[in-house]
Amino acid sequence: MGLLGRAVVTVLPLMPRFMVGWVSRRYHAGEDLSSAVKTMRRLEGEGACFTIDVLGEEITTMEEATFFVEEYGRVLEAIIDTGIDANLSLKPTAFGLLIDPTIAEGSIEKLVRKAAGNDIFVRLDMEDHRVTQPTIDLVARMHDRGLSNIGTVLQGRLHRTLGDIEKISEILGSAADHRICKGIYLEPENIAFTGRSDITSATNQAIDAALDCGAYVGIASHDTNIVKHSLTALEDRGMGPGIPDPRELAGPQRPGKGPGYEFQMLLGVRGDIRRRLAKQGHRTRVYLPYGSKWYEYGVRRLRENPDVAWHITKALFFPWSNRR
């Protein structure tokens, strides 16, 4: 897979844009909000709920942040108007976290407040290690202001993640809400696990730790080993579809949430697993990106993590194993 990934990254600049678009179209919901709504309408029949991401991330000027502030406002209105079971996923650097943290925080807070008034959850995506602590701190400050409808993503591959789970749980208690994933950013060996089996093991440990802290846990992985581990972990703790969360440290079930956990999948990836979990009664959420920055999104993801090319190859040559 490594050789394939490197080969794809090497030829990427030579590929016509339309070809990249043909490959990537299954992984995003289109270029505009109306396309995203149509995709959600189609998939909600499969028992899915959604988290909506407007494509684009780290900006270079604060003027660029205006687009994300306005577009996420439109997304929020669309969720309210349509009644679709969806929440928001924001990248803090798209709001200017690395340029003007104060303005970025103010913009995010306004969205979170409006979302809170409509029982809509907001997830702060976790980006590379430069913003790990600032993102966690931002969530904590929102909770201090009475906004408990916000949580972040924690990446299993980072050495610090188990400690972060413990610290966040101490601060937020039963209001802690994590999406646990492997993480796509390739970080240095001194701060992250780099071997496939080590990353998988660390992610499983993070899921266990988050469950044991009483946090709400979004299990975000297409790795069958992690899904199997999570199902066993839930069963061992007496958790499952239709069962009230039995954990002593957990809070009451919140609107738009499952009984202490849910499974999350990227749009276009391992729809077979998602549908099977939904049929078993588990709450399943599709991470649904859309926007005009689809080309930059796809190219950047491939350059950051060439192993993603393996998933693309499987989708092209074995489409029946990877339906949306």
- The one-letter code for the residue type at 108 is I
The average pLDDT across 311-319 equals 55
CA atoms within 13 A on the CB side of 195: 3
Backbone angles phi, psi at 161, to 5 degrees: -65, -40
Rounded CA-CA distance 273/253 in Å is 25
Give how far Cα 57 sits from Cα of 1, 122, 125, 293, Å. 27, 16, 10, 9
The average pLDDT across 26-30 equals 77
Q: Please count the other Cβ atoms lying within 10 Å of the Cβ belonging to residue 76.
A: 20
- Binned at pLDDT 50, 70 and 90, residue 271 comes out as confident
Give how far Cα 310 sits from Cα of 18, 123, 163, 286, Å. 20, 28, 32, 21
Active site residue 125: yes
Cα 179 to the chain's mean position, in Å? 6
Rounded CA-CA distance 29/40 in Å is 9
pLDDT in tens, 34-61: 999 999 999 999 999 999 999 988 899 9
Contact yes or no for 304/282 (Cβ under 8 A): no
Give how far Cα 126 sits from Cα of 10, 118, 138, 156, Å. 27, 24, 12, 11
Q: Please count the other Cβ atoms lying within 10 Å of the Cβ belonging to residue 84.
A: 16
Cα 123 to the chain's mean position, in Å? 8
Share of the chain above pLDDT 70, in %: 82
Predicted local confidence at residue 233, as pLDDT: 98
Predicted local confidence at residue 315, as pLDDT: 54
- The one-letter code for the residue type at 278 is A
pLDDT in tens, 66-75: 999 999 999 9
User: What's the mean pLDDT when you consider all of the chain?
Assistant: 89
Does pLDDT of 293 surpass 80?
Answer: no
Predicted local confidence at residue 185, as pLDDT: 85
Active site residue 42: no
CA nearest to 216, candidates 239, 183, 182, 185: 239
Rounded CA-CA distance 113/211 in Å is 27
> Which carries the bigger pLDDT value, residue 295 or residue 178?
178
> Which domains are delineated in the chain?
1-28+305-324 (no CATH), 29-290 (3.20.20.220)
Contact yes or no for 214/174 (Cβ under 8 A): yes
Rounded CA-CA distance 150/286 in Å is 18
The residues that bridge with 287 in the sheet, in sequence order, are: 51, 266
pTM for the whole structure: 0.88
Predicted local confidence at residue 57, as pLDDT: 80
Rounded CA-CA distance 254/39 in Å is 25
Contact yes or no for 222/270 (Cβ under 8 A): yes
- Please report which residue ranges of the chain form alpha helices under DSSP H: 2-11, 17-24, 33-43, 62-82, 101-116, 132-144, 161-172, 196-212, 224-236, 271-279, 294-304, 308-317
Q: Which of 115-129, 156-170, 302-316 has the lowest mean pLDDT?
A: 302-316
Contact yes or no for 287/265 (Cβ under 8 A): yes
DSSP 126: P
Active-site hit among 53, 125, 177, 208: 125
Active-site hit among 26, 179, 274, 283: 179
Q: Please count the other Cβ atoms lying within 10 Å of the Cβ belonging to residue 91.
A: 21
